A and B are shown apart, each in its own frame.
Chain A
Amino acid sequence: MEVTSTWYLVLAALLFTIGSSGLLVRRNPLVMFMCVELMLNAVNLTFVTFSTALNDISGQVAVFFVLVVAAAEVVVGLGIIVAILRRQPGATADDVALMRG
């Protein structure tokens, strides 16, 4: 029994759906953000799997850039969350439904 690419793709699909279900169900903004990180990790795993299967480095280059962009996204997203929660402590996703503060 050999570990083929399909195993990795199935695992990444599972991880992605768990992350997206968590994003839709949870209301705490920080936990929602963590579920976004789960989805990004699933995509990274898919990219590396394809890089191995196609014997090409560009999958890993894509993961490199996804990591950089995800780090920048976390910085900005946490800044927004801090700004929101400072004005209204205990805010959930339901409370931020309007664009206007």
Chain B
Amino acid sequence: MDVAVFVVSAAIILAGALGVVLSRNPVHSALMLVMTLFGVAVMFVAQEAHFLAAVQVIVYAGAVVILFLFVIMLLGVDKVENLRTDPLGGQRPGAAVVGAGAIGMAVLLAVRAAQITGAPSATAALDGDQANVNLLGRVVFTDYLFAFEATSALLVIAVVGAVVMSRRPAPGTDTEGDSSGTAGTGMSS
């Protein structure tokens, strides 16, 4: 049963990943990415990381990919990419060979040399009597509290940065948009 779940979700993940890389239309790539993200969420559930599976679906598949689709539709880049032309000749076959070699190397490495070393249960035992969400919350808010607060600040900074960057320049200022991205206070000229 576990093997069946693994094989099916692995097929979904790899099909989605190949679809992202090989699709000509960016919208198709985004939809294939959703497929991969769902497959990874299934893998999380199979390994008893229930909270992460839920957050993966909500945040990654439900917000990040939506943002991608918004940008694709806003900018109208959903026209099919011209995969025919290549700036350097012979790049396409070369990429296929190197890609196959890289995949083979990574798989060989993982199969032959996968040794899991490390102190077991260094932070908090996973199979204790606490549920997954309880344990995760307890550890995030005690042992990793500083990292948690830092990522909160990071999110605010990211939102402010995105608003500043994608704002159209005010009518009175230089339409080029200066590199510092200041508001139209007259300092840009």
Contact = CB atoms under 8 A, between A and B. Distances in A.
A31 B46 CA distance: 29
Measured as residues with beta carbon below 8 angstroms from the partner, the interface class of chain A is 35 or more
A68 B151 contact: yes
Secondary structure dominating the interface of A: helix
A26 to B, nearest CB: 7
Contact of A65 (B110, B147, B177): B147
Contacts of B6: 3, 7-8
Given A34-B68, A37-B64, A45 B40 contact: yes
A5 B114 contact: yes
Secondary structure dominating the interface of B: helix
A98 to B, nearest CB: 13
B72 to A, nearest CB: 6
B114 A9 contact: yes
Contacts of B20: 19, 22, 31, 34-35, 38
A61 B15 CA distance: 28
B140 interface: yes
B112 to A, nearest CB: 10
25 contacts: A2-B3, A3-B46, A7-B6, A13-B106, A14-B17, A18-B14, A18-B18, A18-B99, A21-B103, A31-B23, A34-B68, A41-B36, A52-B49, A58-B123, A58-B124, A58-B139, A60-B126, A61-B144, A64-B136, A65-B147, A67-B56, A72-B157, A73-B158, A82-B166, A89-B76
